[in-house]
Chain A
Amino acid sequence: MPSHAPCADNRVGTGSALKSGHKNGVIVPEQPGKSAIEVRGVRKVFGTGESQVAALDTVSVSIRENEFFTLLGPSGCGKTTLLRLIAGFDFPSAGEILLYGQDIAPLPPFKRPVNTVFQNYALFPHMTVAENIGFGLEMLGKPKAEVKARVAEMLKLVKMEALSNRRTSQISGGQQQRVALARALAPQPKVLLLDEPLSALDFKLRKEMQIELKRLQHETGITFIFVTHDQEEALTMSDRIAVMSSGKILQVGTPWDIYDKPAERFVADFIGETNFLTAAISGMGNGKARATLKSGATIDATVAEGFQPKDNATVVVRPEHAKLTNGKGDLSGTVENIVYFGTDTHIHVRLDSSEAFTVRQQNTRSAGCGFERGDKVGISIGNDAAQVLRD
């Protein structure tokens, strides 16, 4: 995290900026704020006897106040199950879910100050846009005048004033999405849960809504818990990400932590493109170590938390953190394939150790990538480019 502090300001500023008095241009270090949600040792088992499946296998995570927190993972990893447990649509088989210190796990959904934006929006088809948005407040027994004022405020927030009297079937998908957001935000929940809300939108609209969601979180200062299987979406929107697989949380961290310092092979593989190398680790200390690659070269590397010394450790290097050279590098090999991507070029190299390695090189207009298929090349790995995985 500290090594990336310059980029941190647009992330940390969201939400917490409203309350901590964000100073223009001054980087506010990320404070480990109060926990909004604390999940403690939660298990969720479906089925009985032999066919029992643990959708969540003893998961613990702490989600801070005003944070844009993302649960990221492939389908079936348990992310939606965890969301449903926090919302109260399901109850954990074991463990506690604390909302500002109070265990809400046994409460029914209508007693939790937590609202959900559903994947299919679940707007009430027999009500107008305004009636949908006011529904939660009405159920809370708020006076009519207050409901009306709040609905007007929400309509303005999501820019839907003009369509307030439309039926929800008479508006577009993107507009339905906005109404679903406004409806969930109107009762001012302590935490807003979003269950893959952008997956039904087309690409352009999805990009727009990503920015819109960040803006809404910033303006309302509400803690967002966002579920997605889209790693790019997670990286661009989140303050912190929890990567999940097979009912477990593998790693929790900022997008940079997750991308640059993946703890496990699954995390490194699921997010972005990565090169995996086998290495012997020596001189461990202070979260750093020396990694001796099969080529014989020794490079500096950061070490994942929980790494246990072993013979063949896995080291990951992102394709953009390595450089192709004509001379000798840390690694050597032969160019197998060159793929042009517009902004950059991917050069696939077969190392002398027979491992595969990809280098991503920024393109310029004036020159080609400078290499051809069959070229004997060296690869130099930058300082602070390698990470040792714990598995």
Chain B
Amino acid sequence: MASRFDIRRQTGFTTIAMICFFALYLPIVTLVVYAFNAGSSIAIWEGVSLRWFYQAWNNDQVVDASIRSLQIASVAATIATIVATMAALATTRTKPYPGLGFKYAFINQPLMVPEIVTAVALLIFFSRIKIWTGYSGLGYLMAAHTAFCIPFAYLPIRARLENMDLSLEIAAADLYATPWKAFRRVTFPLLWPGILAGLMLAFVISLDDVVITEFVKSGGQDTLPTYMLGQFRRVITPEINAISTVFLLISILIVTVFFFISRKKDQE
């Protein structure tokens, strides 16, 4: 079929694709390569070494920040996914009514309001609560992360629910399943890949957040990204590259694991 129009065979198309590819990945490749630099510059190559990985591993601040990041992300992603699942069920399993569109917007608020605005708002709001309660633990960061993770968890779950054949739930009811049993045996198993996608997405988004965390955190509550940002203000060593590389690997791992789980589900 040589005569047929095929966009992949148009001149220049490959070049454009290559440029896009390099623009996306070249910086990341550079970052990863210099993580293995033996020297202490992030620009001058002095040979291969794992020195910066060792240093990062033995840096208590890095370890602390990593653990804190994982704690916050785990709690925030879990709560956000539960809330998002309930919200998605409530917004897709009812007849459309006036105000439903407003509810979608309401749930997706963190996607629309500029992050810096939310950050400032939370800073002021939480400082009030801090004065009233005297509590200044990780709870604030967890609450803030939960809030902005909800729409990210909500989107894949809602998409999955909307694509689900409604007659399946009706069929379950027809076959003597009470609403709860129908949910447990039919809706939930079919929704599971969506929930998992929401959870992964929320986890990665929380792990990655800088702006809101920077504003909300109290002293000594650095997460990995805010710690790295702090380092940039001082001296920059390939330690940052090493941390970023590990960070990247974890993200890729999560996405890959999810990809295989969801593919297996879809094949069933």
Whether B174 contacts A135 by the Cβ 8 Å rule is no
Whether B176 contacts A136 by the Cβ 8 Å rule is yes
Chain A window 74-116, contacts with chain B (Cβ cutoff 8 Å), 1 for yes, 0 for no: 0000000000000111000000000000000000111000111
Query: For B168, B176, B189, B190, which residue has the most chain A Cβ atoms within 10 angstroms?
Result: B176
Give the size range of B's interface with the partner: 10 to 19
B172 at the interface (CB under 8 A from A): yes
Segment among A9-17, A119-127, A217-225, A332-340 that sits at the interface with chain B: A119-127
A256 at the interface (CB under 8 A from B): no
B204 at the interface (CB under 8 A from A): no
Whether A139 contacts B165 by the Cβ 8 Å rule is no
Whether B189 contacts A87 by the Cβ 8 Å rule is no
Chain A window 179-203, contacts with chain B (Cβ cutoff 8 Å), 1 for yes, 0 for no: 0000110010000000000000000
Residues of A within 8 A of B185 (CB): 135
Whether B176 contacts A110 by the Cβ 8 Å rule is yes
Whether B175 contacts A136 by the Cβ 8 Å rule is yes
| Chain B positions 166-184 with a Cβ under 8 Å from a chain A Cβ | 167-168, 170-178, 181-182
What is the bound-complex CA distance between A116 and B170, given in angstroms?
10
A270 at the interface (CB under 8 A from B): no
B33 at the interface (CB under 8 A from A): no
Tell me if B's interface is mostly helix, strand, loop or mixed. helix
For B186, the closest partner residue in chain A by CB is: A124
| Chain A positions 119-151 with a Cβ under 8 Å from a chain B Cβ | 120, 122-126, 135-136, 139-140
What is the bound-complex CA distance between A192 and B219, given in angstroms?
68
Give the size range of A's interface with the partner: 20 to 34
What is the bound-complex CA distance between A316 and B250, given in angstroms?
80
Whether B176 contacts A140 by the Cβ 8 Å rule is yes
CB of B164 to closest CB in A, whole Å: 10
Q: A124-B186, A126-B190, A167-B268 are in contact. Are A187 and B167 (CB under 8 A)?
A: no
Residues of A within 8 A of B167 (CB): 118, 120, 122
What is the bound-complex CA distance between A122 and B172, given in angstroms?
9
Residues of B within 8 A of A115 (CB): 174-175
List 20 A–B pairs whose Cβ atoms lie within 8 Å, in order of A's numbering: A88-B174, A89-B170, A89-B174, A109-B174, A110-B173, A110-B175, A110-B176, A110-B178, A116-B171, A118-B171, A120-B167, A122-B170, A122-B171, A123-B171, A124-B168, A124-B171, A124-B186, A125-B190, A125-B268, A135-B185
A residues at B contact (CB < 8 Å): 87-89, 108-110, 114-116, 118, 120, 122-126, 135-136, 139-140, 167, 183-184, 187
Query: 4 other contacts beyond A88-B174, A110-B175, A120-B165, with CB at 8 A cut-off?
Result: A88-B173, A126-B190, A139-B176, A140-B176
